[in-house]
Structures are given as C-alpha cells and as structure tokens.
Amino acid sequence: MGLFYAEEQPPDISVHITWDWKNALCPNTSPVGEDLIQIYYRESEWNFCELAGGDRGALARTWYKPDFSQMELAINNVTCHVPQDREGQILRMLPMREIFLHFGTLFLHASQIAYNGSGILFAAPSGTGKTTQARLWQEFCGAEIICNDRTLLRKHGGVWHTYGYPLDGSEPVRSGAVNRLGCVVLLEQGKENRVQRLSPGKAVGPLMRQAVMDCWSAEAREGVMNLLFSLLEDVPVFLLSCTPDQHAVEVLKGKLEEEEVIVNG
C-alpha cells in the first residue's frame, strides 16, 4: 500500500491496515449517521466507520481517535478480497470526507484544469458539461486536465491550492499536480455564451450543492460552509452560461484575462 499525500510534507494521518477481522474493534452504540455505503458511530474514545456489505456483514471497519492521531482499518477477508496495492479500494473504506474536513480541505464535484500556472475549476451538477469544458480548454488552449469529477482545495501559506483525487469519477485522471487556485467557474448550459463574476452571497449556495460531505452531519455541513466562506474571501467565482464549443473557451478566457485571474499567453 503506497502512501497518499495531500501535500509535499509529512502526512496528516497514518492508517494501520489489517486483514485480522476476528480481532477488529467493534462499536457498542447505535449509529449516528449513514449514507449509501457507510455507517458511522461515535463513542467516548473512538469513532467508527463501517463499509456496509448487506446480509453478508460489514466489508470493512475503521476505528479512529476524534483527532485522527490513531487510525486502524480492518478488512473482512471473508467477504472482501482486496489486493494490497489497490489504493482506490482502500480509500473507499475510510471516512475520507470526515478526514478532509478535519484538516481544512474542501471536497468538490468539479473538473479541474491547469492553465499558465493557475488552477481553474468547473463546478456544476452532473451532465452540465464540466468535463466537456475542461477538454475544450485542453484542445484549444493547451490546458492540462487535472481531474474530471472530484477536486480537493486546501489553504496553506495563505494561498488556496488545488489537488486531484484518485477516486475521480468514471474517467479518473489521477494527476498528482498541485496548483495555485485561480478561480472557480460555475456552469450552466445556454444557447449563447455569457460570463459574469458572482458575489460571495450568490456563489455560496451553488458551491454548497457541489460540496462532497457527510450530509447527515450538522457539524459537517457547518464546517463545509465555513470553509466555503473562507474560500470566497480569497478566490473569485464566475458563472458561465455556455455552449459546448470553442466560443465558450474564448468568452471565459477573455473574462479571466480581464479580471487578471490568468495572464495572456
């Protein structure tokens, strides 16, 4: 199992992984929340996250200190056979949304490109055209696609940076590139191409809907909202009503140059 770094520095957490399911620590309380695949428990000493497995029992269980100073993952080798080199499979078993939030990282449904040293995000509901706009920038401007569907944002040294993520939707790019975040572009389909800069008040709602979080947790929703407010203090957000063609690239590029988000050439 390789190490997964969010930055070029010592990792925030270390995870001990075992296939000794028989001796895995078990929760003694009722669940506090769940989503489609994971169930969560809170106790005085440990938090728990179980990967559900239907009537065959849990596929895996993670127990961890609330501050993530200690973290153990047990994989049920009876019901779940995962090769040790399958990083993506392992990450799906961990409470990644909680980990990211604890360490001040925003997790967004967004495609990401790098252009002239700046990270540009395209955020929108599925099917709106995030990947299409990223590919258009790649084709007509030579931009590098960093991810197609999921992007991580983290502020350090007073600057917001962008990161890819191994679990990047159905067409993962898995780029390890780190870029300074230039802007976020919210997309909507239109019959003509128009772009406008949004105030933080108008941008926070649409961005909140594209945040990946533990929606069952009021604490998580509040934490994500606070991170978004911090982001919006520092980073411009634009709304692009667009068609899936080169003209959309030209209109947005012109606006970003006008706002000095990117430098021409």
Domain ranges of the chain: 16-94, 105-258
Residue 83 pLDDT grade (very low, low, confident, very high; cuts 50, 70, 90): low
Residue 81 has what pLDDT? 61
Q: Reply yes or no on whether the pLDDT at 85 is more than 90.
A: no
Residue 180 CA from chain centroid, whole number: 16
Q: Is the pLDDT of residue 168 over 80?
A: no
Tracing tokens 């390789």 back to the chain, one arrives at 2
Does position 8 have pLDDT exceeding 70, yes or no? Answer: no
pLDDT at 146 over 50: yes
Q: Which of 25-29, 86-90, 121-125, 197-201 has the lowest mean pLDDT?
A: 86-90
Q: Is the pLDDT of residue 42 over 60?
A: yes
> What are the strands of the beta sheet with 71-75, ordered from one edge?
16-18, 71-75, 60-64, 47-51, 38-42, 33-34
Q: Is residue 102 very low, low, confident or very high in pLDDT (cuts 50, 70, 90)?
A: very high
Q: At what angle do helices 218-234 and 200-209 cross, to 10 degrees?
A: 140
Beta strand ranges found along the chain (DSSP E): 16-18, 33-34, 38-42, 47-51, 60-64, 71-75, 105-115, 118-123, 144-147, 150-156, 159-163, 178-189, 194-198, 237-242
Closest to 231 (Cα-Cα) out of 206, 248, 257: 206
Helices (H) and strands (E) in the chain, counts: 6, 14
Q: What is the pLDDT of residue 119?
A: 96
The confidence score (pLDDT) of residue 53 equals: 74
205 or 168: whose pLDDT is higher? 205
> What local confidence, expressed as pLDDT, does residue 137 receive?
97
Which fold does the domain 105-258 belong to in CATH? Phosphoenolpyruvate Carboxykinase; domain 3 (3.90.228)
- What is residue 226's three-state secondary structure? helix
Amino acid at 182: G
Express each pLDDT in 14-30 by its tens digit.
999 998 999 999 999 99
In this predicted structure, the answer to whether residue 107 has a pLDDT above a threshold of 90 is yes
Q: What is the pLDDT of residues 217-235, one digit of tens each?
A: 999 999 999 999 999 999 9
Question: What is the arithmetic mean of pLDDT over 108-132?
Answer: 93
Kindly state the average pLDDT of the residues 167-172: 73
The rounded distance, in Å, linking the Cα atoms of 79 and 95 is 20
Distance CA 28, CA 114 (A): 47
Mean pLDDT, range 110-137, rounded to an integer: 94
- Of 264, 210, 256, 209, give the one whose Cα is nearest residue 235: 256
Query: Which tens digits make up the pLDDT trace of 44-66?
Result: 999 999 998 755 578 899 999 99
